[in-house]
């Protein structure tokens, strides 16, 4: 479950240029959830057929208030039919994904084989695609919803993005085609300190499909504490645009990928519920997302007054 918002239902109405170099408004001066005081939410929320009081109406239940600034400022009708009663909620079928934990800079060696004085870094990550897609990197940019499509605005008013790198259908694909030259950048411009502009935005978007999807990975750049002082690319947030709705992606802890042994068998060890110690974990506890248990144990906890 997560918070959902969007400005336009036809988010990908056109496949025109995906940037807007002349952005007259300064979004850093706009009223945002992160820099404004007050209560944004009601005194209670509804979940699983029950009503729960809000301890802090000024706080976003499923994350930080600043996360809401990434979802757009105007809501539109939800494009999917709402489930009735306790009907199962069907997950979205996402066609593209960048594995957040794989995003990194790899320092390129100089001609003499040394990395010490090299200012060049290769941007690498692993992606999965169920259709053809392309990858593009934007710098000091923020997403802008203009005329029914996602564009990008840049802090310095100049378009600063890479070429498009195209991929075909396939999982566990490696992206390493873009070389970043740190000598052309001020380190202060590469460090995220708040606001709507992110130093590095990695975009992957479906190509040649009717219902376009786009995933954005917002990153900052840090400097290593060791003697190398190498640059470290650190992903901060991920979100996906699908069917005109923006979803902020959140990690869940406690349900890990199953390990496959050399003979091709899957090891289910360690996946049992920590309460009953028998059934497989398949339910996440919200809003913390740090505890996963089985469905039967979740039902038992759900109807207890004190947990």
Report how far residue 298's alpha carbon sits from residue 273's, in angstroms, rounded to the nearest whole number: 10
pLDDT at 306 over 70: no
> Collapsing DSSP states into helix, strand and coil, what is residue 162?
coil
Report how far residue 305's alpha carbon sits from residue 302's, in angstroms, rounded to the nearest whole number: 8
Question: Which pLDDT band holds residue 181 (cuts at 50, 70, 90)?
Answer: very high
Q: For 159-168, 241-250, 263-272, which range has the lowest pLDDT when averaged over its residues?
A: 263-272
In tens, the pLDDT along 50-100 reads 777 777 777 776 667 667 677 765 555 556 666 565 556 667 889 999 999
Note the pLDDT of residue 102: 96
In tens, the pLDDT along 222-241 reads 999 988 889 999 999 999 98
Residue 4 has φ and ψ, to the nearest 5°, of -130, 135
pLDDT at 169 over 90: yes
Number of H helices, E strands in the chain: 1, 18
Q: Percent of the chain, pLDDT > 90?
A: 31
Map out the domains of the chain as residue ranges.
Answer: 1-250, 259-302
Longest dimension (CA), the chain: 68
- Average predicted confidence (pLDDT) for the chain: 77
Question: Which pLDDT band holds residue 205 (cuts at 50, 70, 90)?
Answer: very high
Question: Which pLDDT band holds residue 35 (cuts at 50, 70, 90)?
Answer: low
Note the pLDDT of residue 174: 97
Q: Which two tokens stand for residue 169?
A: 């259908």
Average the pLDDT over 274-288 and give the result.
Answer: 84
Average the pLDDT over 273-278 and give the result.
Answer: 88
pTM of the model: 0.73
Report how far residue 36's alpha carbon sits from residue 58's, in angstroms, rounded to the nearest whole number: 10
* Neighbour tally for 25: CB within 10 Å: 9
Question: Which pLDDT band holds residue 4 (cuts at 50, 70, 90)?
Answer: very low
């Amino acid at each position: 479950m997560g918070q959902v918002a969007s400005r336009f239902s036809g988010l990908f109405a056109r496949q025109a240029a995906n940037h807007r170099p002349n952005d007259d408004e300064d979004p850093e001066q706009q009223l945002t959830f992160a820099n404004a005081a007050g209560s944004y939410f009601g005194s209670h929320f509804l979940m699983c057929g029950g009503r729960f009081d809000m301890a802090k109406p000024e706080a976003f239940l499923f994350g930080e208030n600043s996360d809401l600034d990434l979802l757009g400022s105007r809501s539109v009708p939800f494009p999917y039919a709402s489930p009735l009663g306790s009907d199962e909620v069907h997950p979205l079928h996402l066609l593209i994904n960048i594995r957040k934990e794989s995003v990194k800079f790899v320092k390129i060696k100089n001609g003499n084989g040394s990395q010490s004085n090299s200012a060049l870094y290769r941007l690498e990550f692993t992606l999965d695609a169920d259709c053809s897609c392309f990858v593009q990197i934007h710098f000091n940019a923020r997403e802008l919803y203009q005329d029914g499509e996602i564009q990008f605005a840049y802090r310095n008013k100049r378009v600063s993005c890479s070429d498009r790198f195209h991929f075909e259908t396939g999982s566990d694909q490696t992206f390493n085609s873009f070389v970043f030259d740190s000598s052309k950048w001020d380190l202060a411009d590469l460090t995220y300190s708040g606001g709507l502009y992110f130093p590095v935005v990695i975009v992957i978007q479906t190509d040649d499909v009717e219902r376009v999807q786009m995933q954005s990975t917002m990153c900052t750049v840090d400097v290593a504490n060791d003697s190398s002082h190498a640059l470290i690319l650190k992903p901060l947030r991920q979100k996906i645009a699908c069917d005109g709705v923006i979803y902020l992606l959140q990690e869940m802890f406690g349900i890990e990928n199953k390990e496959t042994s050399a003979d091709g068998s899957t090891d289910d060890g360690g996946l049992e519920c920590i309460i009953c110690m028998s059934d497989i974990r398949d339910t996440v506890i919200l809003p913390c997302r740090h505890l996963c248990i089985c469905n039967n144990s979740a039902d038992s906890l759900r109807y207890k007054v004190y947990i």
